[in-house]
Amino acid sequence: MNHSVAGLLLLLGLCLVPPGVRAAATDTFPPGTSIAVIDFEYADTSGEERDQHQEHDGRLRAFMAAVKRDLAAGDAYRVIEPICSPSPCAMSDSTKDDLLAAAGSAGARLVLSGGFHKMSTLVQFARTEVIEVASGRTVYSWLFSFRGDSDEAWAQAEPFMVRQIRAGIRAAYPENNRFNLAGESDGGPGPMAAFR
């Protein structure tokens, strides 16, 4: 299956969960909660004439490396690399149950997955979902847009996304003070946020 079709299917599947969803948590987690980060998918339906596949692959790899690095910063999360076949783990190659099983086998308590959809030359959408491994429940889901398709635009969107993911997890587990990290708002993001 080609990357555009796989990514589009991923985004359509994630859209079945309403944006901004925060399910009730079934567990509370100790500091250093393990989170498996599944590399996001990418779909480009902008119709631009120039082939940007290599540029998008490079930006997505850099983006995912930054997400993993920034989530692991501090003591709130320990990023886990689950083992899948084929490797690396991908939404387009696995079922949700397979990914949760791989994440659980690697010791993860949460799974972060998502994808990007480039709608036009100027606008991209990103969808994120955090799933609790033990219950299979979505504890946080969020859709946001950002402008531009340059290294700078992607670099600016990444810390914004990580802050929103952290806020969403904190909102799902309000009884757990370790999610109230210094310098971060206690409020979660709205159902759809725009980053410009």
Residue 166: is its pLDDT beyond 50? Answer: yes
Per the structure, the count of domains in the chain is: 1
* DSSP reduced 3-state for 50: coil
Using the predicted structure, report yes or no on whether residue 188 has a pLDDT greater than 90: no
Q: Which of 3-17, 40-54, 122-136 has the least mean pLDDT?
A: 3-17
Residue 107 belongs to some domain of the structure? yes
Answer yes or no: is 184 within a domain: no
Range of the domain at 98: 3-174+190-195
Give the tokens for residue 188.
Answer: 């979660």
As given in the structure block, the two tokens for residue 192 are: 């759809």
CA 125 to chain centre: 12
* 15 falls within a domain: yes
Count of other CB atoms within 10 angstroms of residue 52: 14
Residue 185 lies in a domain: no
Phi and psi at residue 112, in whole multiples of 5°?
A: -110, 125
